[in-house]
Amino acid sequence: MAFHRDRYGPATDPYFGLRLWLQTETRHGRLWAYNVEHLALIKRFVEAPLREGIAWHDHGRKMTVVARLPAWMQQAKNRDEVLRAIARIHASLLRSRF
């Protein structure tokens, strides 16, 4: 799910076209969030030790926020890198407060 036209440029809001403040680069791609709550949701998902899939009897694809995360963010092998990126975003928020 990409909300910006230029894959390698900064993430932008799809409606207003303004650059998102909460974003950082990783070696796999750009991690971005609309607000602190969105960032916390991504963090909770990435930190979760067990992620259950859709039940076998449930037909159709559920398009939740976490289901739309890029595959590299969902992979356990990238967990530490994603959490470091989230920490960088949080640190930038703290620096901007002062």
Query: pLDDT, tens digit, for every residue of 37-94?
Result: 999 999 999 999 887 665 555 555 666 778 788 999 999 999 999 999 999 999 999 8
Can you give the pLDDT at residue 6? 54
Residue 30, classed as helix, strand or coil, is: strand
Confidence bin at 3 (pLDDT 50/70/90): very low
Domain ranges of the chain: 22-48+64-97
Looking at the whole model, is its pTM more than 0.85? Answer: no
Can you give the pLDDT at residue 64? 76
